[in-house]
Amino acid sequence: MARRLATRTLLLLSCSQEGSLRILRASTEVCRGSLPPFSPAGSALEAARQLVGPKVTKKKDGEFEGGEFWEAHEELLKRAWQEHGPLHADLYSFGPNFERRYLTSKLRAAARLAREEGSEEAAKGLFEEILPGVFASEDLFTEAFRKDVLEELDRINSAGIPTRRPNGMNRYGVILDQVGFEEALNGLVGAYIKPLGGMLFPELVGDHDADEHYAFTVKYEPSGDTELAKHGDASVVTLNLCLGPATWKGGALRFFASGGSGIYALPKGNASAGSGDVNFQPGQVLLHRGQHKHQALPLLSGQRANLIIWLHAEHGVVRVAPYPPEQQLMAKQRWQQMPRLKLDL
């Protein structure tokens, strides 16, 4: 699973991979014939609304489901989302407005202290290690962030533009980087999420191990996906924010213990990977290693939506071997890196 997801991430994020370039070119030829005539001067939004997205069926290994369709229409869909425009413009660009509206003052103050003084005490104080290797916080994102994201998702889902399944197992959700959020997310990840991931998992996040991200939402409800099989993510560190929206029953996230072995052995104690169930609360964030195996238990009623950010190195590479203590980054090195503002697509 992890390797398959990594491969798909690589295909989505990197254009330098020979195979994906070939698929893209071939399918563009195939699909042009079946598209309504589209002139560059016409409305991309109108053209995208006439597309019929591929059926989504697989609950495992579904990364490439409809792959040719998505590769062929990538440019059109990107322009369609631009034309569609935002409901909450602040969500789409990272800067002082984004930070003030969507990040708690506690998080901003803790990050300032880490950047200016090299002290991570306040940042560490935002988290509780609820299972070995699983850090939880309710102090990262504001209520307004959840509310605006949920409203934006509703609008995206009723835009009439096809959206691609978020990964090989979850069928329902939105790939946030593909619907206009990549710039804001690059800023958020570079300035906050990557240093937080490095602070909590210094043995895995060095200088470049979390340079890139893949962000998406997942949705569970009785008429759609209700559960998710045990897996690891295509990430070195995963951030998982529960968006709510309101109430649901079941749907806990179960973690499985593993310490790894040989050169992959995780340090003992605080940083090892423990087992247990997490019953999400709206607004709660988890940070865990991507390779810490987990599973979503069956949702019994209601709906649960989460926003997930996978951190990985360039080309989807996921570090699994821990750094020895003397090679780990210092707090200032983590927090003073400049955010990368563009994805290398």
Residues that bind ligand AKG (CB under 6 A): 167, 170, 218, 228, 233, 240, 253, 294, 296, 306, 308
Nearest residue to Fe ion, by Cβ distance, number only: 233
186 binds, among ligand AKG, Fe ion, none (CB under 5 to 8 A by kind): none
3-state secondary structure of 229: strand
Q: In terms of DSSP bridges, do strands 212-220 and 294-296 run parallel, antiparallel, or are they unpaired?
A: unpaired
Nearer to ligand AKG, 103 or 253 (CB): 253
Whether 182 contacts 15, CB under 8 Å:
no
The residues facing 287 across adjacent strands are 135, 239
Size of the site for Fe ion (CB under 5 A): 1
Give residues 206-265 in contact with Fe ion (rule: CB under 5 A).
233
In 3D space, the residue among 230, 176, 260 whose CA is nearest the CA of residue 59 turns out to be 230
For tokens 């104080």, name the residue: 125
Could you tell me the smallest distance in angstroms from the CB atom of residue 308 to ligand AKG? 5
The residues facing 37 across adjacent strands are none
243 binds, among Fe ion, ligand AKG, none (CB under 5 to 8 A by kind): none
Whole-angstrom CA distances from 328 to 101, 204, 312, 324 are 33, 8, 17, 7
Nearer to Fe ion, 203 or 233 (CB): 233
Distance CA 271, CA 291 (A): 13
Distance CA 260, CA 96 (A): 41
In 3D space, the residue among 198, 87, 80 whose CA is nearest the CA of residue 150 turns out to be 87
Nearer to Fe ion, 178 or 306 (CB): 306
Could you tell me the smallest distance in angstroms from the CB atom of residue 242 to ligand AKG? 7
225 binds, among Fe ion, ligand AKG, none (CB under 5 to 8 A by kind): none
Could you tell me the smallest distance in angstroms from the CB atom of residue 286 to ligand AKG? 8
Nearest residue to ligand AKG, by Cβ distance, number only: 296
Nearer to ligand AKG, 119 or 295 (CB): 295
258 binds, among ligand AKG, Fe ion, none (CB under 5 to 8 A by kind): none
Nearer to ligand AKG, 206 or 282 (CB): 282
Could you tell me the smallest distance in angstroms from the CB atom of residue 100 to ligand AKG? 27
Nearer to Fe ion, 127 or 310 (CB): 310
One-letter identity of residue 213 = H
Could you tell me the smallest distance in angstroms from the CB atom of residue 77 to ligand AKG? 22
Whether 240 contacts 281, CB under 8 Å:
no
Nearer to Fe ion, 293 or 334 (CB): 293
235 binds, among ligand AKG, Fe ion, none (CB under 5 to 8 A by kind): none
Phi and psi of 25, rounded to 5°? -65, -45
- Is residue 177 part of the contact set for Fe ion (CB under 5 A)? no
Whether 161 contacts 84, CB under 8 Å:
yes
Beginning with the edge strand found earlier in the chain, give each strand of the sheet holding 134-137 in spatial order: 128-131, 134-137, 285-289, 237-244, 304-312, 212-220
3-state secondary structure of 36: coil
Nearer to Fe ion, 63 or 148 (CB): 63
Distance CA 336, CA 345 (A): 24
Could you tell me the smallest distance in angstroms from the CB atom of residue 278 to ligand AKG? 9
240 binds, among ligand AKG, Fe ion, none (CB under 5 to 8 A by kind): ligand AKG
Q: Record the tokens describing residue 311, joined without a space.
A: 């951190």
253 binds, among ligand AKG, Fe ion, none (CB under 5 to 8 A by kind): ligand AKG
- Is residue 63 part of the contact set for Fe ion (CB under 5 A)? no
The site for Fe ion (CB under 5 A) is made up of 233
